[in-house]
Amino acid sequence: MRARASYLPTMSRRPPRKPTAAYLERVAIWYLERWFTTRAHLRRKLVERVNRGLAEHGGDRDEALAHVDAVLDKLEAARILDDWLYVRGRVGSLRRRGDSERAVKAKLRAKGAEPAMVARALAEVEEELGVGELLAACRYVRRRRLGPFRDGRDPDRDRKDLAKLARQGFGYDIARQALEMDRDELEELVFSTR
């Protein structure tokens, strides 16, 4: 193994900062300028900063967590942080992309979204955009070039395609229906509902 050249700078992390209210607010705004997220997810990120800061500088954990909650309340009051807008937008984009209902719920659960809010957003998206489970499966099939988009039919390939759809959270009947469609029929369905 070659030795590191002496002229290259060493990569060192800056020490964590003390978790004051002003610092936590700056971190939250910095994060929200880059990524839109839920309150629960942003809280997790801020608590990570608090934990690192307290490990380095010491201090009262309850006071720091009170700062976190105050910052989140302030951002929600200013409508900078809005769980409903995030969930509604994310559900729409995931369904248009071809994600199953089960996959959408899992992704949003990981971000800390409430299940009732996700269910309401799924119902709205299906009603407004007409993106149901079959259409989402067809979009996934088209995007991944499965089933009718392959050259020739092979029973072994069909089983593998069916398994891919199952891993994405689609039920057997929906997956089978999407894979057995004719290519033109599938594309007509996908493009008629954009």
pLDDT tens across 126-170, in order?
A: 998 787 899 999 999 999 999 898 887 788 888 999 999 999 999
Domain boundaries, the chain: 21-77, 83-129, 133-192
Q: How far is CA 142 from CA 26, 40, 43, 135, 164, in A?
A: 43, 34, 37, 10, 13
| pLDDT tens string 64-85 | 999 999 999 999 999 999 999 9
| pLDDT tens string 15-69 | 889 999 999 999 999 999 999 999 999 999 999 999 999 999 999 999 999 999 9
pTM (two decimals): 0.82
The values of phi and psi at residue 51, to 5°, are: -60, -45
pLDDT attached to residue 11: 57
CB atoms within 10 A of CB 47: 16
